[in-house]
A and B are shown apart, each in its own frame.
Chain A
Amino acid sequence: MVMFLFISKYEWLALKANKMLLLVAAVTLFLLLFALWDGYKRVSFQTKTITAIEQQQKADYDKYSQQITSAKPGQHFNGGHFGNPTNPFYFGSRMGAKYAVLPPAPLSVISTGQGDLFPSYYKLTLSKRQALYHSGEIENPHILYNGSFDLSFVIIFLFPLVIIAFTYNIYAAEKQNGTLQLLMAQNTSVQKITAYRMLFRYLLFCGFTMVILFGGLLAFDVKVSANFSALAQVMGIVWLYAAFWFAFALLVNSVKKNAGFNATVLTGSWLLLVLIIPTILSGVVNKLHPNRSRIELITKTRDISDSIATSINVLNRFLEEHPEFKPAGIVQPDRNSLTLRNRIEVEVQKELLLNEFAITTQNRESMVNRYRFFSPAIFMQQLLNNAAGTNEKRYVDFDNQVKKYHQAYRNYFEPLVYRQQRFTAEHASLVPNFVHTEVNNLTSGSNTANILFLVLLVIISILFALLNRTNRLFSFKRRR
Chain B
Amino acid sequence: MIKNIIQKELAEYTQNSHLKWIVVFIYLLFAVALFTGIQYYQKTNTGSKAAQKASYKQWLAQGKKNPHSASHYGFYAYKPLSPLALMDKGMEGYLGQAVWLEAHNQNEVKEREADDAGSIVRFGNLTVAFIFQFLLPLAIILLGFNLFSKEKEYGTLPALLSSSASIWQLFKGKAAALYRLVLYIFLPMFVVTFISILLFTGFAEWLNVLPHILFLLILYLLYVGLWVLLSLYISSFAKQSSVALVGLLAFWVFSTFFISRIGSVVAKSAVPTPSSFQFSHNIRLDNEMGIDRKTPAYLRQKAFEDSLLKKYAVDSISQLPLNIRGLNLQRGEDYGYLIFEKNYGGLEADYLKQNAIMNWLNVLSPPQSIRSISAGVSGTDINKHIHFSEQAELHRRLIATTMNDDITRNSVGIDNYEVSPDFWKNVPPFQYTSPSLLLVLPQQLISIVSLQLWLGILWLLLKKRAGQITGL
Residues of chain A at the chain B interface (Cβ within 8 Å): 34, 38, 41, 45, 49, 52-53, 56, 78-79, 113-114, 117-119, 121, 123, 134-149, 153, 157-158, 161, 165, 168-169, 172, 176, 258-260, 263-264, 267, 271, 274-276, 278-283, 285-287, 290-296, 298-299, 302-303, 306, 357, 360-361, 364-365, 368, 377-378, 381-382, 385, 391-392, 480
Contacts and interface: CB of A to CB of B under 8 A. Distances in A.
Contacts of B241: 260
A227 to B, nearest CB: 22
B358 to A, nearest CB: 6
B13 to A, nearest CB: 16
A140 B351 contact: yes
A56 B257 CA distance: 41
A263 B249 contact: yes
Q: Is the interface of B mostly helix, strand, loop or mixed?
A: helix
A138 B273 contact: yes
B245 to A, nearest CB: 5
Contacts of A172: 242
Nearest to A262: B242
Contacts, number: 216
A169 to B, nearest CB: 7
A183 B36 CA distance: 52
Given A34-B265, A148-B265, A279-B123, A136 B273 contact: no
Contact of B245 (A138, A260, A299, A392): A260
A147 B51 contact: no
19 contacts: A41-B269, A45-B275, A78-B296, A134-B111, A134-B112, A142-B264, A142-B381, A146-B263, A260-B241, A260-B242, A283-B126, A285-B120, A287-B36, A291-B117, A293-B43, A294-B97, A299-B50, A365-B118, A378-B123
B113 interface: yes
Interface of B: 17, 29, 32, 36, 39, 43, 47-48, 50-51, 54-55, 58, 61, 76, 78, 90-91, 93-95, 97-98, 110-126, 138, 142, 145-146, 240-242, 245-246, 249-250, 253, 257-258, 260-265, 267-269, 272-281, 296-298, 347, 350-351, 354-355, 358, 381-382, 385
B334 to A, nearest CB: 18
Contact of B32 (A78, A158, A280, A290): A280
B262 A149 contact: yes
Contacts of B347: 138
Nearest to B246: A263
Contacts of A298: 51, 55, 76, 98, 111
A140 B120 contact: no
Nearest to B62: A306
A169 B58 CA distance: 68
B47 A138 contact: no
Contacts of B145: 260
A41 B347 CA distance: 20
Contacts of B76: 298
B354 to A, nearest CB: 5
Contact of B111 (A274, A286, A294, A361): A294
A382 to B, nearest CB: 8
A161 B263 CA distance: 20
B273 A149 contact: no
B111 A368 contact: no
Given A49-B277, A140-B273, A279-B125, 20 more contacts: A38-B265, A45-B275, A113-B119, A117-B112, A138-B275, A140-B351, A141-B95, A141-B351, A145-B91, A165-B250, A276-B29, A279-B123, A279-B124, A283-B32, A285-B120, A287-B36, A295-B48, A298-B55, A378-B120, A392-B118
